[in-house]
Amino acid sequence: MCGIAALQLRNPSLHPRMGTLLSSMLCQIVDRGPDSAGLAVYDVPGLVSPGTSTLSLLGRHQGRDASIITASLGDLLPSDASPTVQIIGDTTLVNAAVPTDLLVKAVSETLPGSTITGRGEHVAVMKSVGHPMEIAADHGLESMAGSQGLSHTRMATESAVTAGGSHPFSVADDLCLVHNGSFSNHATVRRNLLREGVVFDSDNDTEVGARYIASRLTQGDSLEEALVNLGRVLDGFYTLVVTTADGMAVVRDPIACKPAIIAETDDYVAMASEYRALAALPGIGSARIFEPEPGKVYTWSL
């Protein structure tokens, strides 16, 4: 059993409250996953910057001082890249004015063995082991402004309790996935993706789903099409939430074994594993509230 809380803010006047609202939602799903937790936040000033790429690295200790990492990256990147490195809670954020792939290459050379947990122009990903609200506080969630937020509390069932096994999984630019449930044939799908040259960072079945979606998007699928194809390939019981730079999608397995509830207004779309996580949102009394239908993909855009 895991918990999911996701929020897309359509009304820019709510962006300053993103962290406060997501934190209140997260608080209500802690008991669904006390092992570990993760966050993906979009367009948060100070974490990401327009026109630049940001990498989220697992852990605050990368074996080298942040100033030394910054200097090493500066030697590898173009002179106008202006790399920066900052520590937020248990996460290291690396930013530079270069394409993401070039920044990934430079970080891999500078910090071999580091694990990239998030990448893109808009998203920062933070995850760790421990009590979800302590993880949120360590990363300063409540004070964050932004356009979208995605959170997950994990009760591990098919792989070890590790920060790397926590959700979200972000395996392509600004793409994140969280998952409540399990994929029964993930090993088979993993082998197929490995044959295609896909590289994995963990043994988690959710990463298989994330890598599959990223592969389908690369092949030209829309997000909705990628999730429809996922339902044809991956078996199991699940609720998935996927976020992109400007979109959010929700899908449940064909028999809707795992819970999900959605609240939609002109100002926002929110999804959670339980209604109590939605109850304190502004305007909830007049929101359209519904359970996603089995197997149906729901998508929204900013």
Residues labelled as active-site residues: 2
> Contact, 105 vs 81, CB < 8 A?
no
Q: Is 78 buried (19+), middle (13-18) or exposed (0-12) by CB count in 10 A?
A: exposed
Give the whole-angstrom CA distance, residue 84 versus residue 63: 17
Would you say the C-alpha torsion 161, 258, 214, 46 has a positive or negative sign? negative
Q: Which two tokens stand for residue 102?
A: 């070039």
With beta carbons less than 8 A apart as the criterion, state whether 293 and 218 touch.
no
Token code pair at residue 275: 């209604």
